[in-house]
Structure 1
């Protein structure tokens, strides 16, 4: 959870420094939700491991890189898209509702 809060604090800080221009390569809402689901699954996986915190700080970026490769995007495209969506709180809330719904569905299917 600390990692999630740290990531969002960083993005909020970045967003507050930027203008409201739409990035050249903006991920669609559907793609953004897919990536957010994968990121949260990776975070959960890393947190479930019985390894020291400093080891998780090494492992998570590797998994994050694999997520971006899986989706065929650069990390900067994700970051810029996230910053854009964070400018609209209702849009970001909607994206996270969809993310949570997707994670809940996956959990139900796994059971």
Structure 2
């Protein structure tokens, strides 16, 4: 538990014993709203502490943080004080409220640490997708999202993108798919498929991700399509959006210059990349 939280609880405890025992009117915030507001206040306290705002001078503006919280919950400072007084009268219940506050803050801290770790991992990992990273169809025409990437690193390969399909779209069976490929002069090309992933038509951005471990170093390419379909007709309406495209293997770091250059030669083209068969 951080120091600010300890001081706050201690202050409230003193207030609890000094407050009037008279029956109070119902507060403006119900218990759930009051709990959420306490969480926001502690987050603001943490932000000010982290930025060393607790000091004299022109940067000392805690009201800047607190006023936005008062506006969010549509209460005045005096009304918030009344809420504190009301809920503090019941010691056992107030303790439960603060248990929820502490639990929520701990969860937020854990999520923050995980997000920082993932961001660092992403920063240190090569994105094998080298074409444009944000497409709006039909604004950008009817692009193809085939890819054929030379690979040799072991590990788990991930293909991911944020996609939404709009109501007027006529794409049949839209899906994300990929497979590892190798040439076999005796039996023909060999493939190890990822599990294809159906893309929903609900106009909502969702992150679609497929993963598979590299089977062995005899496979030379990662092949696939971020947005494949089954339409027989050449002309049909498509309205969808794709962004945040990532194809990566955590084992491949930015210092892998040789394979990065090889990928660049194959992927910097905007032309259709045919399937290998």
Say whether the fold is shared (TM-score over 0.5).
Answer: yes
**Does 1 or 2 have the higher relative contact order (CA < 8 Å, sep 6+)?**
1
Report which stretch shifted further, 100-109 or 22-31: 22-31
Q: Give ranges in structure 1 of 5+ residues lacking alignment.
A: none
- Relative to structure 1, the CA distance from residue 93 to residue 81 in structure 2 (aligned partners, 3 Å threshold; closer, same or farther) is same
User: Is the CA contact (8 Å cut-off) linking 1:23 and 1:80 kept in structure 2?
Assistant: no
3-state DSSP of counterpart to 1:101? helix
Deviations 1:55-111 (A, max 9, x none): 599322221111010111222221101011111111111000011111122222222
Which residue of 33, 36, 52 maps to 1:31? Answer: 33
TM-score (norm 2): 0.35
Deviation at 1:38, TM superposition (A): 0.4
The alignment status of 1:78 with 2:64, answered yes or no, reads no
Greater strand share, 1 or 2? 2
Give the alignment's TM-score, normalised by structure 1. Answer: 0.78
Of residues 87, 90, 96, the one that matches 2:89 is 87
Aligned length: 111
RMSD of aligned residue pairs (Cα, Å) = 2.9
Larger Rg: 2
Aligned to 2:149: none
Q: Distance in 2 between matches of 1:98 and 1:59?
A: 28
Using the TM superposition, give the Cα deviation of residue 11 of structure 1 relative to its aligned residue in structure 2, in angstroms.
7.7
Alpha carbons of structure 1 residues 24 and 56: separation in structure 2 relative to 1, 3 Å: farther
Stretches of 4+ aligned residues off by more than 4 angstroms: none
Structure 1 pair 2–25 and aligned structure 2 pair: CA distance change class (3 A)? closer
Which has the larger helix fraction? Answer: 1
Distance 1:66 1:87 in 2: 27
